[in-house]
Amino acid sequence: MINKRSIWFLTLFCLILVLSVYYVTMPSELLLTTNSNYTSSETEESNEQPVVQVEENTILTSLRVEADEQMMNEIEQLQAILTNSESTVEQKNDAYEKIKSLNLNKGEEQQIEKQILDTYKLKSFVKVNGNQVRVVVLSKEHDSSLANNIMRTVQSNYDSEMYVSVKFQQ
């Protein structure tokens, strides 16, 4: 039978093992302790102007990060309700159903993004909120027929009427 002492020993041993593997695989440049190497590299870099490249999909990435943060905050609040011992069964059921619907919405969004990528060869961001679907498409062309086709493609995934908006970004 495993006792507390054995569990603590295994835990600490695993921690030491992970840290030692990290230390061994760490680049040797980080282990240097002389300041001359750091100051010379800093002066060489300070003479050059920093070059910032903005990729096309940074807009989509920022939208995804914002949506993911919002979703994670909602899930954390709902999980707090689930784990709270003072919550009623009805509150816990509602929280569970909301978490389930958030996960389903996320799956729908990813499916629609993949469908737009496969059909129109365009990168996109999709946000589903109730019966509203917001689509942001990376495209240099701002074509109304393309927007109409994207709206039809998105609507084909649903049985009921959805309010689909398409926005083009460059």
Q: Is the pTM of this model over 0.75?
A: no
pLDDT tens digit string along 7-46? 888 888 888 888 888 777 877 666 555 444 445 444 444 5
Query: Of the ranges 39-53, 54-68, 109-123, 149-163, which one carries the lowest mean pLDDT score?
Result: 39-53
The residue extents of the domains of the chain are 58-169
Query: Taking 70 as the threshold, does the pLDDT of residue 66 lie above it?
Result: yes
Q: At what angle do helices 89-120 and 144-155 cross, to 10 degrees?
A: 140
pLDDT tens digit string along 78-129? 999 988 889 899 998 999 999 999 999 999 999 999 999 999 999 999 999 9
pLDDT at 1: 63
* Mean pLDDT across 51-58: 59
pLDDT at 41: 47
* Mean pLDDT across 32-61: 57
Q: Please, which pLDDT band fits residue 130 given cuts at 50, 70 and 90? A: confident
pLDDT at 47: 56
Q: Please, which pLDDT band fits residue 150 given cuts at 50, 70 and 90? A: very high
Fold of 58-169: Helix Hairpins (1.10.287)
d(CA 61, CA 56): 9
Residue bearing the bigger pLDDT, 155 or 43: 155
Residue bearing the bigger pLDDT, 30 or 62: 62
pLDDT at 128: 92
